[in-house]
Structure 1
């Protein structure tokens, strides 16, 4: 067999990503000490603008094994932190939130138990990707490549339709239900995950929310008939952190779950049958997971990831479908707590509605950016001229203008801009 090789990439990847590392991972995962890699090729697994919190690589591998008559090919996904790359400084906000170790703990110790909880009621579908290796020392997670099972990520600037949204809500309800049962069995251990994007510990993201709201307000103020709403947005920047933290506060009298915290269409992958009908979805990227109201995930999903025509028209139906699925699964799992009725849950959902404002007016404009090459993770929190130019560009998007013009009067009527 020829000596192991890798194609020299035109991008940086971790120095520890080598033949021995990958062989060890595969041998341990599949209990096969005879695995020998002949070639591996890392390449970027995401496009510019798709991910601001971590780096992902797709690793093509050629290997031999005593269990296989012919050389085999496969691929995996490696997820790691920015500071694992050569000559890259850590990003303070991400370090403070401890997002890498948080996700590692979830995949290593908690998600397998979620799957076992659901298996007790005959639910054997995957919630999350299969994990090949968990590396706490290197902030590394090696996953199965879901593309090998024909899962795909949809184009981030195209919204989800009713069918895709309903499927995702059913999967989300299963994930949330499993978290409720797990927390009940494990002495409320999930409640330690209290670092949501808004939280009582730090306001390091305040420059992001305040500066983007300000730029949003300045943009809106230039539109005839929207001047007062633009002024409200500018003033809102001084209250956004207080209101956001209120949304993320845990109410012990309401149902709480392990919320994903960043549930938008880039953090899920869909699978289709031979006729092209969507049949399954797997959820990814749990770096901002927190113990909170399920309304957190619902508001964020609805305001970042749905096609424009169904955001308002289907909103209550979607919430009712989610509530129905969650109640059904919890009942099947023998949940001993009190289940809210849908009218009660709807009141809970509406009380968290401020999160719809930041999701629609701050987060989504960034996610649907038409010019991702013109910005990077450091432009999100900066206040230099480059960062200001980046924000102005974000709010020049015609789709963002349509969203603002449609939702601003609705949110204002609900008192969310005061």
Structure 2
């Protein structure tokens, strides 16, 4: 059986994809398949079979998005069936099958319709590698229905990458644009999608599973009850994106989140220190998160770590010995020691970093995270610039904040979040000048939630200040570990995705050599040296 319209292949695909020569893409996937058959031959056979199967269905009207959507859905089902039935096709990847769907849709569209507006199809270009295998149509539809309701009729989606180097460090972040029909009207909505980066070294698989379990669990289980606690006392919900879907499948963990760009939220430049206005928004929202968890714990009959096990220590636990991450932390502190040496005038600090902090960093880190006394809350756990999004007024002033990236959420002292924030995300001069004001504003916001909930504060402002100082070492550690990396210009950064089971020492040595060159960068030098100065002033060194 022949397919008389196959010669129109390039004509049809150029109509569907005016900026993409699909035939060339298919050829680049593979020019030869099982049994020596060329892709063109398989396309011919599949196209013929899809046309034959759909001919009896009398699908001849592609005039509306809904009808085009239904056609594509049926075509996709037919291609999947053929893929399962025909061993010569069955070994092809999903990407190729989607290409077949596109071609067959184009063939049918050319035969059965006089319309020339192309049907809605997934984007075949400009994606983060591997996302097509993880972001499936099934997940996108589930996300859409969770967001818009069961009456929303899915039409199509495309994956659209939008992040740049330096935006993300422990996950892959992209977005999907979804076309759907609701109430006989066409609509479009976007979602931010976070995916497991599947690092290939040491204990990375276990750690990544923990990270996504924490964030998915927080969004789907803890945030709703914390929001309810706040609403019950007349306060607004936590300022975080809405999570529409969490797929916990191991190795393919995926979070579909509200796209805050639609509400004009933006990421702050990580190379700039947060000023007072930005910092105030952050500490007030952290206070609401911390205090709401206190209200929840007071009402709970069990400890929150029992109700929500992913709040436990995990990879930072005393019982866990993740050698790879210990070596990474030590390597990054060693790199900071070399940077301090290159800057000059910090011999005592360099000696302390090399002789005391580098070999004992994990023990010290874990000690700083241990909560004690009244200072026990759910904490964000990863409080630095990239994990805050801001909305601005017409004069460019920050007026609203969203907290994002809850992958290290746990129970600890709330001052661990504050130390992390102040030492990684503020310039030294702003941190010293505004410290008391920021802590007092934090305390007031915390107190508002607690007293509105009918409780009394368990600690005074002076006790908060003392606990903050007690945990300064955590701030120092975090700054030394991440600051030289996150403040680098795009393309100059250390990234965990470079590591595998063989190259740990090589990558860490290259990172150290690159870090030393940063002594000439005025932005990094000011921020970094201010941390070293504070270590000296606090008596650590």
Cα distance change on mapping 1:24 and 1:194 into 2, 3 Å? closer
Describe the superposition over 1:219-274 as per-residue Cα deviations: whole angstroms up to 9, x where unpaired.
Answer: 323444322221121112122222111101121x2321111110111111111233
The alignment status of 1:103 with 2:222, answered yes or no, reads no
Q: Distance in 1 between matches of 2:437 and 2:205?
A: 35
Aligned to 1:188: 303
Count matched residues.
Answer: 408
Q: Distance in 2 between matches of 1:111 and 1:185?
A: 16
1:16-95 map, 5 Å: 16-37=134-155, 39-65=156-182, 67-69=183-185, 71-83=186-198, 89=200, 92-93=203-204, 95=206
Q: Distance in 1 between matches of 2:203 and 2:215?
A: 17
- SS of corresponding position for 2:331: helix
Q: Distance in 2 between matches of 1:91 and 1:45?
A: 30
- SS of corresponding position for 1:238: helix
Cα distance change on mapping 1:385 and 1:28 into 2, 3 Å? closer
* Residue pair 1:259, 1:290 contacting (<8 A) in 2 also: yes
Aligned to 2:419: 299
Bigger mean CA deviation after superposition, 18-27 or 313-322:
18-27
Q: Which residue of the other structure, out of 127, 131, 143, is the alignment partner of 2:239?
A: 127
The alignment status of 1:139 with 2:253, answered yes or no, reads yes
Q: What displacement does 1:317 show?
A: 2.2
The alignment status of 1:220 with 2:340, answered yes or no, reads yes
Gaps of 5+ in 1: none
Gaps of 5+ in 2: 1-64, 73-119
Q: What displacement does 1:411 show?
A: 0.9
Describe the superposition over 1:168-201 as per-residue Cα deviations: whole angstroms up to 9, x where unpaired.
Answer: 1111111111111112223222464222674313
- SS of corresponding position for 1:82: coil
- SS of corresponding position for 1:156: coil
Q: Which structure has greater helix proportion?
A: 2
Q: Which residue of the other structure, out of 314, 323, 326, is the alignment partner of 1:206?
A: 326
Bigger mean CA deviation after superposition, 285-294 or 354-363:
354-363
TM-score between both structures, scaled by the size of structure 1 = 0.90
- SS of corresponding position for 2:175: strand
Cα distance change on mapping 1:269 and 1:217 into 2, 3 Å? same
Q: Distance in 1 between matches of 2:331 and 2:295?
A: 40
Runs of 4+ in structure 1 over 6 Å off: none
Describe the superposition over 1:283-306 as per-residue Cα deviations: whole angstroms up to 9, x where unpaired.
Answer: 111111110000110001011112
Q: Distance in 1 between matches of 2:528 and 2:393?
A: 36
Bigger mean CA deviation after superposition, 118-127 or 102-111:
118-127
* Residue pair 1:107, 1:131 contacting (<8 A) in 2 also: yes
Instruction: Say what the alpha-carbon RMSD is for the aligned residues.
Output: 2.3
Q: Distance in 2 between matches of 1:52 and 1:223?
A: 27
* Residue pair 2:334, 2:512 contacting (<8 A) in 1 also: no
* Residue pair 1:56, 1:78 contacting (<8 A) in 2 also: yes
* Residue pair 1:213, 1:237 contacting (<8 A) in 2 also: yes
* Residue pair 1:194, 1:291 contacting (<8 A) in 2 also: yes
The alignment status of 1:243 with 2:364, answered yes or no, reads yes
The alignment status of 1:152 with 2:152, answered yes or no, reads no
Q: Which residue of the other structure, out of 161, 164, 185, is the alignment partner of 2:275?
A: 161
Pick the structure with greater CA Rg.
2
TM-score between both structures, scaled by the size of structure 2 = 0.70
Q: What displacement does 1:218 show?
A: 2.6
Q: Distance in 1 between matches of 2:223 and 2:424?
A: 25
Cα distance change on mapping 1:166 and 1:395 into 2, 3 Å? farther
Q: Distance in 2 between matches of 1:220 and 1:339?
A: 40
Aligned to 1:401: 525
Q: Distance in 1 between matches of 2:330 and 2:383?
A: 22
Q: What displacement does 1:390 show?
A: 2.1
Cα distance change on mapping 1:199 and 1:24 into 2, 3 Å? closer
Cα distance change on mapping 1:41 and 1:325 into 2, 3 Å? same
The alignment status of 1:7 with 2:127, answered yes or no, reads no
* Residue pair 2:240, 2:404 contacting (<8 A) in 1 also: yes
The alignment status of 1:332 with 2:452, answered yes or no, reads yes
Q: Distance in 1 between matches of 2:190 and 2:415?
A: 36
